[in-house]
Amino acid sequence: MSIIIGILSSIAVLLTTAVIVFVIDEKTSTVAVDGSAPVTYLTLPVTSPRATETLKSTSAGTKRNVTKSTQTTTLPVTAVTTATSTTAVSTTVATVATTVTTSTTSTTTTLTISTTTRVTAQAPKKLPQETDFYPQEINSSTYPRIYYGSMQKLLQSPELPTGCEVTALTALLNYLGYDVSKTELADNYLPQAPAGESDFHNAFIGSPYDKKGYGCYAPVIKYTAQRFLLDRGSQREALNLTGTNFEKLLPIISKDIPVVCWVSQNLIEMEHKNDIWEYDGKQVDWLAGEHAVVIDSYNLDKNLVYVIDPQKGRAIYDYDLFKLRYNQLGKQAVVII
């Protein structure tokens, strides 16, 4: 009997009250999902908490007083997930705070997990390619020779080294009063596809987070904008004005409607890369140096256009050279009305 009492006493010592708080460093891992919630396994190399124990003998018997001690330990976390899907998910575990209180009579466990999830938008196989007509009220042959807008600059770097298109769209949405970041648009609304599995009219090829990413064209940015506007319950509409002569954009801009358009980086001469892969039975071509900006101002007396350039901030370009590059990129333009 004394042996059994001794064993039970040892177990009671182990079941003393302790409070544990773990703070885990932020880490990022890339996982895949199959449409259900991702399965994440966290490997936590931790240091055991301490509890100070004092035994007191009285005439009534032996009492055990436990002094609680709290430790805060910064730990690395390894997130490993196995699943199968075509949608890539990058999960950032921001903090995991765990409090465990244990006694001989009750056990209470509270687990709080705060996470930020980056989801790469699944690209439909085909996006609408039709161009839109802007409303008659802004289709005017008369417009001022000088107009200055008031957009704020937004840079694509350092987060999106090749994400000029989605950054230009973000700058436009911010100007219209929407609280959204370039990374939120890139993660949740911009359709993306690996090189060889789509083309620039249907997805951003590569990743805007990757210096080796390619880019995308007007139908993709219209689609991204429309998805975002619908998600926010907005009555605004994104229009693809591709094919519009550059002069026709000026009356739109003069009515405080900035235009996202495609030119080249610093208006340099572009390198035409032919047949880089085949998609949907056609060879895909690419103009290296492609770039997207937002025009919000112009001065015809000085032959200048003023843009929000995701690489430079506020930039001023020669009107004629800007128009030439705009034409070379297929007269691509997107507006939100």
Nearest to 216, CA basis, from 334, 86, 297, 66: 334
62 lies in a domain?
yes
- 285 in the same domain as 142: yes
Its pTM stands at: 0.63
Contacts of 60 (CB under 8 A, 6+ apart): none
- 289 in the same domain as 181: yes
- 270 in the same domain as 229: yes
Give the integer Cα–Cα distance in Å for 187 and 182: 9
Domain boundary among the residues 119, 153, 170 is at 119
Q: How many domains does the chain have?
A: 2
- 81 in the same domain as 61: yes
Q: Cα separations (Å) of 51 from 12, 55, 63, 100? A: 13, 13, 16, 13
Helix (H, G, I), strand (E, B) or coil at 295: strand
Residue 317 corresponds to which tokens in the numbers above?
A: 């370009």
How far, rounded to the nearest angstrom, does the alpha carbon of residue 244 sit from its chain's CA centroid?
30
Domain interval for residue 62: 15-119
The position carrying tokens 């895949």 is: 32
| Number of residues that this document lists for the chain | 337
The position carrying tokens 């890139």 is: 186
- 175 in the same domain as 96: no
Nearest to 203, CA basis, from 146, 126, 306: 126
Q: Are 131 and 332 in contact (CB under 8 A)?
A: no
| Interhelix angle 164-175/218-231, nearest 10 degrees | 40
- 204 in the same domain as 267: yes
Contacts of 325 (CB under 8 A, 6+ apart): 263, 264, 267, 270
1 lies in a domain?
no
Give the integer Cα–Cα distance in Å for 311 and 162: 10
Give the integer Cα–Cα distance in Å for 142 and 147: 13
Q: Are 160 and 183 in contact (CB under 8 A)?
A: yes
10 lies in a domain?
no
Domain boundary among the residues 67, 96, 119 is at 119
CA angle 201–204–206, rounded 5-degree value = 135
7 lies in a domain?
no
| pLDDT, one tens digit for every residue, the chain (337 residues) | 554 445 445 444 444 433 333 333 333 333 333 333 333 333 333 333 323 333 333 333 433 343 333 333 333 333 333 233 333 333 333 333 333 333 333 434 333 333 333 444 555 566 666 666 665 555 556 899 999 999 999 999 999 999 999 999 999 999 999 999 999 999 999 999 999 999 999 999 999 999 999 999 999 999 999 999 999 999 999 999 999 999 999 999 999 999 999 999 999 998 877 668 888 888 898 888 999 999 999 999 999 999 999 999 999 999 999 999 999 999 999 999 9
Domain boundary among the residues 68, 97, 119 is at 119
3 lies in a domain?
no
186 lies in a domain?
yes
Q: Are 292 and 170 in contact (CB under 8 A)?
A: no
| Interhelix angle 246-253/319-328, nearest 10 degrees | 120
- 226 in the same domain as 276: yes
- 310 in the same domain as 182: yes
